Structure 1
Amino acid sequence: MESRRLQQYIRSIELNRAEVPSFTEYPFNLAAIRNLETLSFHPKVTFIVGENGSGKSTILESIAVSYGFNAEGGTKNFNFSSRATHSDLNKYIRLVKGLKRPEDGFFLRAESFYNLATNIDQLDAEPSFGPPLINFYGGRSLHGQSHGESFFAVFQNKFRGNGIYILDEPEAALSPSRQMSMITRIHELVQQGSQFIIATHSPIIMAYPHARIYQIQEGFEVVKYEETEHYQIMRAFINNTQKMLDILME
């Protein structure tokens, strides 16, 4: 087991609590971060789930930036910044890496995907001696496709395997059937030596088996899939739709 953990790309993060200026200020006042000491990741797939505002995207962003990714997404080669809104949490966490180095990597976040697509078009409009960047994303401008199509084009074409992939709410643009297709793509990439860290609200995506699921409440709690609030709420709604609607609309 220890040998396998040494081979994964990101083993854990540790919050340097002694350096935190104040646990009453953002982002350290978020319960998930206020109670954070060490967070260990699964060698293959780790999900971070929780309510809006719980801090999951802030944690994911800090991991990505600490690893060398641009705060707004992309590979390590992207350095655009549309608006500097990311927190300074990455300055206070220690990233514990394994011995193995990835051959590929990507930070994909739903809220700034438009900015990423724009930057790709801008870079391709400049003189270059190499092939257009968009060739690595399926050959069509991401702005020339629907939001869901462009999202999925990244999964299908840019992710090559043997990589570290950090995904923030990837379901935002995907239909339920596309979310199921994403499970297939995740599994293909895991079999090719990849590691995923994913923040999601999707009961479909988080059903990927043999993953570690952290549910954020007052802190990070490891839970089974069926124990997540997302699964329980969705199951209750589907199994008792009219009753739930009557309660919601009374």
Structure 2
Amino acid sequence: MRDHVEAPPELSEHLQIVRGATTNRSGFFLRAETMHDNMAYLMSVGSVRGHHYAQRSHGEIFVDMLTSRFMELGLWILDEPESALSFTASLTLLQLIRQRQRKGLQTVMATHSPVLARADNAKIVEVGDWGLHESAWEGLDMVDHWRRFLHDPQRYLRYLDD
């Protein structure tokens, strides 16, 4: 575990939690950077048993935590969860979000992943030099860049220094 406590993310200054949006009034905030510290804490207090987390990948632990302990919480706030996830694990997280949505549970997520941004019925707010504006998934810059990269990687790679 780290010797210091991280400052809360600046995002917390701009959010207001409103009770009553769902019947389940509990929530969960997880930053990928602090996930291992959170897991170590949960193991130390006996909240997580039967898993050998030291032998699992960052992404596997992340998905395990969400499915076993936090799935039914009323609100998830996820800060760039893709940093822990493979493509397949991103699809798993997308499925979990879909299951939660069907139960009326909410997820707020900051992401650079076109996969995760594709959540059903998501309200997508794009952040840029212009400020904030609502966008469609198909119109996101990140979706366009990934499409072009996957179609012709050399188009991007030729600009990298050797």
Q: TM-score, normalised by structure 2?
A: 0.84
Alignment partner, residue 135 of structure 2: 223
Alignment partner, residue 121 of structure 2: 210
When residues 120 and 157 of structure 1 are mapped into structure 2, their CA distance, relative to the original with a 3 A threshold, is same
Alignment partner, residue 30 of structure 2: 108
Gaps of 5+ in 2: none
Q: Could you tell me how far 1:93 is from its partner in structure 2?
A: 4.8
Give yes or no for contact 2:98–2:120 (8 Å, CA) kept in 1: no
When residues 239 and 219 of structure 1 are mapped into structure 2, their CA distance, relative to the original with a 3 A threshold, is same
When residues 88 and 184 of structure 1 are mapped into structure 2, their CA distance, relative to the original with a 3 A threshold, is closer
Q: Could you tell me how far 1:120 is from its partner in structure 2?
A: 1.5
Decide which of 20, 24, 47 is 1:99's aligned counterpart.
Answer: 20
Aligned length: 158
* Percent identity between the two aligned chains: 27
Alignment partner, residue 168 of structure 1: 79
Q: TM-score, normalised by structure 1?
A: 0.56
Decide which of 235, 241, 244 is 2:147's aligned counterpart.
Answer: 235
Gaps of 5+ in 1: 1-80, 125-132
Question: Quick check: which has more Rg, 1 or 2?
Answer: 1
Q: Could you tell me how far 1:110 is from its partner in structure 2?
A: 0.6
Moved more, 94-103 or 196-205: 94-103
When residues 247 and 88 of structure 1 are mapped into structure 2, their CA distance, relative to the original with a 3 A threshold, is closer
Q: Could you tell me how far 1:145 is from its partner in structure 2?
A: 1.9
**SS class of match (2:48):** helix
Alignment partner, residue 45 of structure 2: 123
What is the RMSD computed on CA atoms of the aligned residues?
2.4
Q: Could you tell me how far 1:182 is from its partner in structure 2?
A: 1.3
1:169 alignment partner AA: E
Structure number with the bigger relative contact order (C-alpha 8 A, sep ≥ 6) is 1
Give yes or no for contact 1:203–1:230 (8 Å, CA) kept in 2: yes
Q: Per-residue displacement from partner, 1:122-152 (whole Å, max 9, x unpaired)? A: 223xxxxxxxx104xxx31433422111011
Q: Could you tell me how far 1:207 is from its partner in structure 2?
A: 1.0
Q: Per-residue displacement from partner, 1:72-91 (whole Å, max 9, x unpaired)? A: xxxxxxxxx9414225775x
Please give the alpha-carbon distance, in whole angstroms, between the structure 2 residues aligned to 1:88 and 1:205: 22
